[in-house]
Amino acid sequence: MEKQTLIEFGKHIRDMRKKANLSQEDLALSAGLDRSYIGGIERGERNVSLLNLKKLAIALGITMSELLNYELDSEGKC
């Protein structure tokens, strides 16, 4: 269950990043994070801290509630 939650959140981050027309590197630079960390989040390998969630939301131009409010459809997309 926990791993699945990380995987689903990672897919959501990837979708949000792509909607913003950002590469992993662009998002990482904007958020002040490492590109490999962004990749780890998107693959469901990272459990993101509250402070890094805030950085990601700011970098994506959305609120934290928008960042955390998602549901995946049958194809695994938001």
Establish if 75 belongs to a structural domain: no
Establish if 17 belongs to a structural domain: yes
Q: What is the mean pLDDT of residues 44-72?
A: 94
pTM for the structure as a whole: 0.87
Q: How many domains does the chain have?
A: 1
* Confidence band of 70 (pLDDT split at 50, 70, 90): confident
Residue 25 lies in domain: 2-68
Task: Indicate if the pLDDT at residue 63 is higher than 90.
Answer: yes
User: Quick one: pLDDT at residue 39?
Assistant: 98
Establish if 41 belongs to a structural domain: yes
User: Quick one: pLDDT at residue 38?
Assistant: 98
The 3 state secondary structure assigned to the chain is CHHHHHHHHHHHHHHHHHHCCCCHHHHHHHHCCCHHHHHHHHCCCCCCCHHHHHHHHHHHCCCHHHHHCCCCCCCCCC
Q: What is the pLDDT of residues 10-52, one digit of tens each?
A: 999 999 999 999 999 999 999 999 999 999 999 999 999 999 9
- CATH number for the domain spanning 56: value is 1.10.260.40
